[in-house]
Chains A and B, each alone.
Chain A
Amino acid sequence: MKRFSWFNTTSLTLGFAFLYLPMFILIVYSFNASKLVTVWAGFSTKWYGELIQNEAFLDAALVTIKVGIVSSTLATILGTLAAYALIRAGRFWGRTLFSGMIYAPLVMPEVITGLSLLLLFIGVGLDRGILTIILAHTTFSMCYVSVVVSSRLSTFDMSLEEAAMDLGANAFEAFRLVTLPIISPAIISGWLLAFTLSLDDLVIASFASGPAATTLPIKIFSSVRLGVSPEINALSTIMIGMVTFGVITASLISKRAAVQLKLEKQTRYHKI
């Protein structure tokens, strides 16, 4: 057993306090009755009520969710195809350019990605709105998906697919029945990553959107620029709550799956 020294305890305590205290304060003050955000005036949920009645926020939230679902689904399909092309398709014309285009958006500053897409949309005369935000989000998040999926594909045992084909499956059946179930956790986490990136994105959406469509981050950014507001605190609390719930559920499910697997293996072992 390793010693857990006071130094380690302090760094973990301070580190997690630093990470969580700001969000904790935000949550506490979202229940503040006062309009003055820095003065505590008793418990109240009135800001949540005002938030629900604020149509501009609700509209923006709806647009954000629509964009998130469509773009992350497209990004997952394109990203999985791209990962397949990178890992399994062997050599093809322009492969270096292709892998460059997959990795470049990951390190490209958002302002540049946004600027370049906006100039494209103007160049081809596409009106900016939901469609252009979806195109923009799909493009950068498909690269994240393909990185996640290709790291799973590269450790995938090819002989499994070969065995399926030896047993009479065609290439597509082998993919659908053997490969897809094995890489599906990576595809699901790719989708989740793409969805979160899309919900979160301010800079690229600001370039790609027009007056016709506003996403939640754009809305939050423009009101936050004027300072702290209790409504935004309430909104933040809701978003933090949803994410925390999602992440904890996901980790519990994967933990249970791991335990299940372990149990199955043990019983099988005993049978033998």
Chain B
Amino acid sequence: MKRFVLISIPYLWLLALFLVPFSIVFKISLSDIALSIPPYLPQLELSTGWTGIKKFFSDLDFENFIFLTTDKLYYKAYLSSLKIAIIATFLTLLLGYPIAYAITRASKEWRPTFLLLVILPFWTSFLIRVYAWIGILGQEGYLNQVLLFTGLTTEPLIILNTPIAVYIGIVYTYLPFMVLPIYATLEKLDDSLLEAAEDLGCSHFTAFWLVTFPLSRGGVIAGCFLVFIPTLGEFVIPSLLGGSNTLMIGKVLWDEFFSNRDWPLASTVAIILLLILIIPIVLFQRNEQKEREADR
């Protein structure tokens, strides 16, 4: 009996505030936009009894999904989100791997401090960290001031409100998510393997490439997914740094809902985004499982 209460409290909470809302999104994605309150049709009218329920279900259709495939804006937005997420993940890996590697090479006393320095930005406000770049990257921003002052450029660079600013923002905010899992796998690495490789005639670099990197693959994959998955639906970074030139699906959904007030279409955009996300999420879960089995 006690056990039943224990389980049912969080269970019911999640059913009511996760599963039910989610089914509502799905239902509204099958509805049509209408000038009513709330702004979509059909609405379930239980007062008309069985015929009302039947009419309700017959009015639901996949019209919005078909519309999304015919309108160029949406699949362009999905494609550009995918492109931005992939490139940004790769850039984060490029910067994050050397940092994780260098921390494992540091002496034991210094490692906790370095790790703390990597984690600290994660605890500070995401919004503020993105905001910090507006002042740096703007046309009269600090970066351009330095570049013009040193004579490296004669014209101010236009970075803010372009995809480049979005890449910088993503790499900056998601770097800890890449460094930590890679560090976790590199730390477990047995140094004698490297010594053996070098004894057998490998140079420093080939030993890294043939021994260290393949053995850290699990951490690299985990880090990439931890960056890629949230980036795909990102809203704050493209809307603060990307300007109107950067098309990302999280922003499209937001505008569709708040500006156009097309709730059914916003819901459809959400459902398709989730369908796309299922693939990397499943792959990520598999990787985690494999890592856990390898640990045993």
- Quick one: which of A89, A217, A246 contacts B7, CB cutoff 8 A? A89
Q: How many residues of A contact B (CB 8 A)?
A: 81
Residues of B113-169 whose CB lies within 8 A of A:
114, 116-121, 123-129, 131-136, 138, 140-142, 145
- 0/1 interface trace, chain B 233-277, chain A, CB 8 Å (1 if under): 111100110000000001001100100000100110010011001
Q: Which residues of B contact A107 (CB under 8 A)?
A: 229-230, 277, 281, 284
A97 to B98, CA, bound (A): 40
Q: Which of A8, A111, A251 has the most CB of B within 10 A?
A: A111
Contact of B6 with A by CB under 8 A: yes
Residues of A218-272 whose CB lies within 8 A of B:
220-221, 224-225, 227-228, 232-233, 236, 239-240, 243-244, 246-248, 251, 255
Given A81-B10, A101-B18, are A111 and B235 also a contact pair (CB < 8 Å)?
A: yes
Residues of A66-91 whose CB lies within 8 A of B:
78-79, 81-82, 84-85, 89
- Quick one: which of A8, A82, A115, A221 contacts B127, CB cutoff 8 A? A221
Chain A at the B interface: mostly helix, strand, loop or mixed?
Answer: helix
CB distance from A151 to the nearest CB of B (A): 11
Contact of A105 with B by CB under 8 A: yes
Given A23-B132, A115-B257, are A110 and B21 also a contact pair (CB < 8 Å)?
A: no
CB distance from A27 to the nearest CB of B (A): 10
A240 to B251, CA, bound (A): 27
Interface window among A13-21, A48-56, A160-168: A13-21
A221 to B127, CA, bound (A): 8
Given A11-B101, A26-B128, A224-B131, are A139 and B20 also a contact pair (CB < 8 Å)?
A: no
Q: Which of B24, B28, B128 has the most CB of A within 10 A?
A: B128
Chain B interface: which size bin? 35 or more
B136–A22 CB distance below 8 A: yes
Q: Which residues of B contact A135 (CB under 8 A)?
A: 17
Given contacts A22-B172, A23-B129, A243-B120, 13 further A-B pairs with CB under 8 A are A8-B102, A9-B102, A20-B117, A89-B3, A89-B7, A120-B24, A123-B38, A136-B17, A228-B138, A236-B131, A239-B125, A243-B124, A251-B112
Contact of B50 with A by CB under 8 A: no
| 6 examples of A-B residue contacts, CB within 8 angstroms | A2-B191, A4-B105, A85-B11, A101-B18, A109-B234, A111-B270
Contact of A213 with B by CB under 8 A: no
Contact of B224 with A by CB under 8 A: no
Total of A-B residue pairs, C-beta within 8 Å: 226
Chain B at the A interface: mostly helix, strand, loop or mixed?
Answer: helix
A120–B21 CB distance below 8 A: yes
CB distance from A63 to the nearest CB of B (A): 16
- Quick one: which of B10, B38, B120 contacts A78, CB cutoff 8 A? B10
- Quick one: which of B131, B136, B229 contacts A232, CB cutoff 8 A? B131
A224–B240 CB distance below 8 A: yes
B132–A4 CB distance below 8 A: no
Q: Which residue of B lies closest to A108 (CB)?
A: B274
Contact of A196 with B by CB under 8 A: yes
A29 to B3, CA, bound (A): 56
Contact of B73 with A by CB under 8 A: no
Q: Which of B11, B24, B263 has the most CB of A within 10 A?
A: B11
Q: Which residues of B contact A119 (CB under 8 A)?
A: 21, 24-25, 28, 263, 267
Contact of B35 with A by CB under 8 A: no
B105–A8 CB distance below 8 A: yes
A230 to B234, CA, bound (A): 26
CB distance from A126 to the nearest CB of B (A): 11
Q: Which residue of B lies closest to A223 (CB)?
A: B131
B11–A22 CB distance below 8 A: no
Contact of A98 with B by CB under 8 A: yes
Q: Which of B101, B120, B230, B266 has the most CB of A within 10 A?
A: B120
B17–A139 CB distance below 8 A: yes
Q: Which residue of A lies closest to B37 (CB)?
A: A122
Given A112-B273, A139-B17, A217-B127, are A123 and B24 also a contact pair (CB < 8 Å)?
A: yes
